[in-house]
Amino acid sequence: MKTEQQYFNEAISIQQYMDNMSTLKEESFRIYDGFEVPTNDGFIELLKNKQPKILTITEDWCGDAMLNNPIIRRVAEAAGLEMRTVFRDADTELIDRYLTNGGRAIPIYLLLDDAGEVIGKWGPRAPELQELVVTKRASLPDKEDPAFEEAQKALYAEIREENISNQTYWTYVYEDFKKQVTNALQK
């Protein structure tokens, strides 16, 4: 069984991942180009001091990855951290160690220390966004309803557009990532 450090060593950089995206690339770069990392809250300094590595489990078709990856990449760049990416579906052994409510939800960000040990985890989405998604999904027709599939597709398109354009969502991602990572690094 491969260790998280071995996955990290074999992974591609987040820049390489984003540059080679075949789905949601333009949308991801709109967020990447628009997000500015706060520099007055001490988080970047903490990251610079602790220097965790970030191993991202993702896929480019994922709406949450479209939102989160560019923001976490900006944080990593601001702090001079190494951030690498593995594809969830290429090797499910890793994601199966980090299931969310029994599912292979992505993206997942693993923080590794110098020894390659996992010292923290974040993902797949900020709690405020989870609540929003759950509320919106509650409005869908029953899965047996012939209108379900079309309604679900429209809902996901709406959420994707909000993720791209609503900078408050970007703040939710940043703030929750900061909170979880700070807690992990101060243990």
What domains sit in the chain, N to C, each tagged with a CATH number?
4-125+167-185 (3.40.30.10)
Structure pTM?
0.95
Total residues found in the chain within this entry: 187
Strand partners, 38: none
Contact present, 33 and 73 (Cβ < 8 Å): no
Structure tokens at 59: 């896929």
The rounded Cα 73 to chain-centroid distance in angstroms is 9
Q: Quote the pLDDT of residue 159.
A: 96
pLDDT-flagged residues of the chain (< 50): none
Q: Quote the pLDDT of residue 86.
A: 98
CB contact set of 59 (below 8 Å; sequence gap of 6+):
65, 87, 88, 89, 106
Strand partners, 118: 112
What's the chain's Rg over C-alpha atoms?
17
Q: Quote the pLDDT of residue 31.
A: 98
Q: Quote the pLDDT of residue 187.
A: 79
**Alpha carbon of 124 to those of 24, 57, 108, 172: distances in Å?**
17, 10, 5, 12
Structure tokens at 96: 């199966």
Q: Quote the pLDDT of residue 34.
A: 98
Q: Quote the pLDDT of residue 176.
A: 98
